[in-house]
Amino acid sequence: MAENAKWYVVHTYSGYENAVKTSIEKFVTNRHVEDMILDIRIPMETVTEVTDAGTVKEVERKVFPGYVLLKMVMTDDIWHLIRNIRGVTGFVGTANNPIPLTEEEVLALGVEKHEIVVMYNVGDNVRIVDGPFATFTGVVDEIDAAENKVSVIVSMFGREMPVELELDQVEVLQ
């Protein structure tokens, strides 16, 4: 069942996000539905605030006040139970049809991180396997794992040019 899980957005009363998350966690353990509701998140960000007195402090703030993200397998029973938790006003979507987030939306929100293992280093000869430069070969010039970018020097029209790609668009030449 877990492979069918998708991210859904639950709308809550403002300020009830933590209470809703706690209630869902209790519901999951009490009803033994750990295989149906896999993850519960309230997206937070750290913000630096400067007060009137000039002091600087870092504060945790909700990115989307009034919303809780759930990775779950949607069934009628689960929908009904989540919908009736105190503080929940509904799912994002139509009245009785919650719409899951797309993979692009999940990645953009930073809810799930997809870790890519880089099997090459700076100076290695690589082949580009995806995108407009597919089948080109080149030399790795720079790797930025945090930004999911790699710079490869390719020879095009007799000139060497840097091409910026995603980490999984290149593979080591054998």
- How far apart, in whole angstroms, are the C-alpha atoms of residue 111 and residue 45? 12
Three-state secondary-structure class, residue 113: coil
Could you give all domains of the chain from N- to C-terminal order, each with its CATH number? 2-109 (3.30.70.940), 125-172 (2.30.30.30)
pLDDT higher than threshold 90 for residue 137: yes
pLDDT in tens, 143-167: 987 778 899 999 988 899 999 998 8
Please tell me the predicted confidence (pLDDT) of residue 27. Answer: 92
Instruction: Kindly state the tokens that stand for 57.
Output: 């402090």
Give the CA angle between residues 35, 40, 43 to the nearest 5°: 155
For residues 131-147, average pLDDT: 89
Q: How confident is the model at residue 57 (pLDDT cuts 50, 70, 90)?
A: confident
**H-type helices in 2-118, by residue range?**
17-31, 76-83, 103-109
- How far apart, in whole angstroms, are the C-alpha atoms of residue 161 and residue 165? 13
pLDDT in tens, 64-122: 899 999 999 998 888 999 999 999 999 998 878 899 988 888 777 766 655 667 788 89
Instruction: Kindly state the tokens that stand for 127.
Output: 């082949």
The predicted model scores a pTM of 0.62
Q: How confident is the model at residue 56 (pLDDT cuts 50, 70, 90)?
A: confident
* Torsion from C-alpha of 88, 89, 93, 96, nearest 10 degrees: 100
